[in-house]
Amino acid sequence: MTRPNAAAGPEELIKIYRTSTLIKQTDESIRGLLRRGRLQANYYSPRGQEIVAAAMAATLQPDDYVVTIYRGLHDHLAKGVPLKALMAEYFGKVDGSCKGKGGCMHITHPEAGVMVTTGIVGSGMPIANGLALASQERKDGRVTVTNFGDGATNIGSFHESMNLASLWKLPVVFLCQNNLFAEHTATELCTAGNIVDRAKGYAMPGILVDGNDPEAMYAAAREAVDRARDGEGPTLIEARTFRFEGHNYGDPSSYIPKEMMAEAKANDPVPKLRALLIERGIATEDEVAKIDADAATEIAEAVTFAQESPYPDVAENLSDVYAHVLENA
Amino acid sequence: MAEITLSQATQQALDEAMAADPTVLVFGEDVADPEGGGIMGSTAGLSTKYGSRVRSTPISEQAIAGAAVGAAIAGMRPVAEIMLMNFITVAMDMIVNHAAKTRFMSGGKTAVPLTIRTMSGAGIGAGGQHSDMYEAWLAHVPGLKVVVPSNAADQKALLKSCIFDDDPCIFVETTYIQFMKGEVPADYEAPLGKAKVSREGTDVSIIGYGRPILDALAVAEKLAAEGISVEVVDLRTVMPWDQETVFKSVAKTKRAVTLHEAVVQFGVGAEISSRIHEELFDTLKAPVQRVGSMNTIVPYSAPLEQNFMWSQDKIEAAIRRTLERK
């Protein structure tokens, strides 16, 4: 069955631009804080992958579930985790989304639908199936999106999860953000065949899309989310994208050919979308400049908030381990 | 009072929990009725009665444990079956990195009220990969609760306690005794973290759980004829274990033996023994003795397997060692 290709209209494109700008600028702010020694964190920049998350989120309802990984800033902001709570969590402060107890690799914010952020490659997918199973049994109409990288498609849980989701027709979208490198190893050196083709083996549709093209990414996401919501089961999306900053902060990414990096940066998807909005008359230069300025203001406020928030009390070490603090712990 | 098997106790606990609470889900390999209702019949009848809330799964332990973690985070009370405890190794990431840590790492925003039922134990000639007791691994992970019942009444009551507990619980059933019968009173309850004094005594305390408790009771009966009075404490919950009951018993008897099926080295008995020494050193009349299985791979050949296992003789010898000092 084919679906009407619900295209991103002007409103959606502006929304995607607003989200991707917030992500891009927040990432730049965090890297600045790390560079100046104001923040110490294991940080995995999503710079370059903004459009994938922003376009996917533009197709989701507020109560839909998202599962993501340690490179998750873009997914968190796109789904609506408040920037102040997110920033305070990066600083390990009590006003963080998880009281400073999870950190940037473990963001949870149920109010925004962000249920799990895992630091273990490939671990989000089996858990996403469970969230989707709960929705299926409750008939609550929610869709679960599980984000992962190209490297995660080689771990067993990817295959186990795709099989189970397809068997049970779970309302889940498997969103592979293929940034062409699994840590330091190029995808073609560690992944046999095409990722999208693996969908066939599990009897589910696979969509290969340019994740940096907001209209194409929106259409792919829309199709997969609608299928899931209509009870037709899971979809695998392979969104091709690129990361500009190496695997983790401080990685010089010497394994990426210089020309490849230069070409990717020349095609930076966020300024490209900005230009497209103006060129098509969807927004004026002043309007996009305001979006840019609003993001900068919001980020500055969040950084101040996070820096001023206190550290959690050390008594927090024994709370939340179990539902009740155990005696003699 | 009618007697039922431990396997039937599991079935009754699941049935009553599912009837009481629509968020209880059951899934695992072969658990639905067309597949036989579980290899021990412990889930028989449930899929017929509860439909999609009971599902047979592929042989995919990561997917099973992960689905339990996700469903629990979403507010359900899943009971996932990992058929044998050795297969938990395949699902360890989901259990150790996710089930156990999610409440803490989310700052209490999400909880994981899941139960994983699994089964294991030596003495059935299943060899090295279907017989291990790994409760010490799991008890060592902050965030998990671990339960090992020794009789039908406790198996039913403790399983229900696990299902309605708000933390992730690993529920270990011992293969060898699943068809043993016992009385199960209708209103019997067993809270997590509470031990049961299965037999009162005054000369020495045996602290254990699971199948070896049956041997401890037999040894206590035998030694009573000699005038040696043995108190048997069935921990039932390995983590958190009931320190109050254990310390009270040992303060009275002044001698203790720890007992479990798993190998002695780095076992649960080491933790209990150490804590008894820390708390009651001045009142002890003898060092705490430990009984468990031999530090080797569970062998196939029957005489080797019997030699590997704990035994009534080994329990008796440990008791006598504590009694050598006056």
Q: What pLDDT digit, counting tens, does each position of A7-44 carry?
A: 999 999 999 999 999 999 999 999 999 999 999 999 99
Rounded CA gap, A164 and A176, in Å?
17
pLDDT of residue A227: 97
Mutation choice for A interface testing from B104, B115, B145, B275 by most A CBs within 10 A: B104
Smallest CA–CA distance, residue A273 to chain B, in Å, is 34
Averaged pLDDT for residues A230-258: 96
Please judge whether B66 and A96 are an interchain contact, meaning their C-beta atoms are less than 8 angstroms apart. no
pLDDT of residue A31: 98
Smallest CA–CA distance, residue B84 to chain A, in Å, is 19
Smallest CA–CA distance, residue B101 to chain A, in Å, is 7
Q: Which positions in chain A touch B58 (Cβ < 8 Å)?
A: 160, 163-164, 167
Domain membership of residue A113 (yes or no) is yes
Domain membership of residue A318 (yes or no) is no
The nearest alpha carbon in chain B to A128 belongs to B70
The minimal CB distance from B97 to the residues A123, A135, A168 is found for A123
Q: A176 near A239, Cβ under 8 Å?
A: yes
Please judge whether A126 and B65 are an interchain contact, meaning their C-beta atoms are less than 8 angstroms apart. yes
Q: B62 near A123, Cβ under 8 Å?
A: no
For chain A, the domain total comes to 1
Please judge whether A65 and B74 are an interchain contact, meaning their C-beta atoms are less than 8 angstroms apart. yes
Please judge whether B67 and A126 are an interchain contact, meaning their C-beta atoms are less than 8 angstroms apart. yes
- Using a CB–CB cut-off of 8 Å, the residues of B that contact A are 25, 52-53, 55, 57-58, 60, 62-63, 65-76, 78, 93-94, 97-98, 102-111, 142-143, 145, 165-167, 193, 240, 243
pLDDT at A182 over 60: yes
Mutation choice for B interface testing from A67, A164, A174 by most B CBs within 10 A: A164
Q: Which positions in chain B touch A119 (Cβ < 8 Å)?
A: 97
Please judge whether A108 and B109 are an interchain contact, meaning their C-beta atoms are less than 8 angstroms apart. yes
Q: A122 near A148, Cβ under 8 Å?
A: yes
Q: B137 near B50, Cβ under 8 Å?
A: no
pLDDT of residue A16: 98
Tokens of B22: 């629509």
The minimal CB distance from A102 to the residues B67, B105, B240 is found for B105
Rounded CA gap, A158 and A116, in Å?
16
Rounded CA gap, B116 and B118, in Å?
6
Q: Which positions in chain A touch B111 (Cβ < 8 Å)?
A: 323
Please judge whether A108 and B110 are an interchain contact, meaning their C-beta atoms are less than 8 angstroms apart. yes
Mutation choice for B interface testing from A63, A89, A157 by most B CBs within 10 A: A157
pLDDT of residue B2: 83
Other beta carbons within 10 Å of A139:
8
Domain membership of residue A329 (yes or no) is no
Angle at B199 between CA B195 and CA B201, to 5 degrees: 110
Averaged pLDDT for residues A116-144: 98
The three-state secondary structure class of A206 is: strand
Tokens of B307: 């030699």
Smallest CA–CA distance, residue B291 to chain A, in Å, is 25
- Measured CA to CA in angstroms, residue A197 lies from A191, A194, A224, B77 at distances of 12, 5, 16, 35
Q: In angstroms, how far is CA B215 from the centroid of its own chain?
A: 16
The minimal CB distance from B93 to the residues A67, A123, A167 is found for A123
Smallest CA–CA distance, residue B45 to chain A, in Å, is 19
At a CB cut-off of 8 Å and minimum separation 6, what does A180 contact? A150, A186, A187, A240, A241, A242
Burial class (CB in 10 A: 0-12, 13-18, 19+), A47: buried
pLDDT at A4 over 80: no
Please judge whether B103 and A323 are an interchain contact, meaning their C-beta atoms are less than 8 angstroms apart. yes
Averaged pLDDT for residues A94-116: 98
The nearest alpha carbon in chain B to A163 belongs to B58
Please judge whether B108 and A319 are an interchain contact, meaning their C-beta atoms are less than 8 angstroms apart. yes
pLDDT of residue A328: 60
Q: Which positions in chain A touch B59 (Cβ < 8 Å)?
A: none
Domain membership of residue A319 (yes or no) is no
Tokens of B174: 């011992």
Biggest CA–CA distance in chain B, Å, is 62
Q: Which positions in chain A touch B102 (Cβ < 8 Å)?
A: 108, 116
As for the ipTM of the complex, it is 0.96
pLDDT at A1 over 50: no
Pairing mode, strands B230-234 and B196-199: antiparallel
Please judge whether B94 and A115 are an interchain contact, meaning their C-beta atoms are less than 8 angstroms apart. no
Taking phi over 0 as left and psi of -120 to 50 as alpha, with beta for the rest, A87 belongs to alpha
The parent domain of residue A91 ranges over 10-305
Mutation choice for A interface testing from B27, B47, B62, B82 by most A CBs within 10 A: B62
The minimal CB distance from B67 to the residues A96, A120, A133 is found for A133
The nearest alpha carbon in chain A to B165 belongs to A323
Please judge whether B25 and A137 are an interchain contact, meaning their C-beta atoms are less than 8 angstroms apart. yes
Q: What pLDDT digit, counting tens, does each position of A135-172 carry?
A: 999 999 999 999 999 999 999 999 999 999 999 999 99
Over chain B (326 residues), what is each successive 10-residue block's mean pLDDT?
A: 94 98 98 97 98 98 98 98 97 98 98 98 95 98 98 98 98 97 96 98 98 98 98 98 98 98 98 98 98 97 97 98 92
pLDDT of residue A93: 98
Pairing mode, strands B256-263 and B204-208: parallel
Q: Show which residues of B are catalytic.
A: 61, 130
The minimal CB distance from B58 to the residues A65, A98, A167 is found for A167
Smallest CA–CA distance, residue A113 to chain B, in Å, is 10
Q: B61 near B91, Cβ under 8 Å?
A: yes
The three-state secondary structure class of B283 is: coil
pLDDT of residue A329: 53
Instruction: Tell me what percent of the residues of chain A surpass a pLDDT of 90.
Output: 97
pLDDT at A271 over 60: yes
What CATH number is given to the structural domain containing A297?
Answer: 3.40.50.970
Domain membership of residue A214 (yes or no) is yes
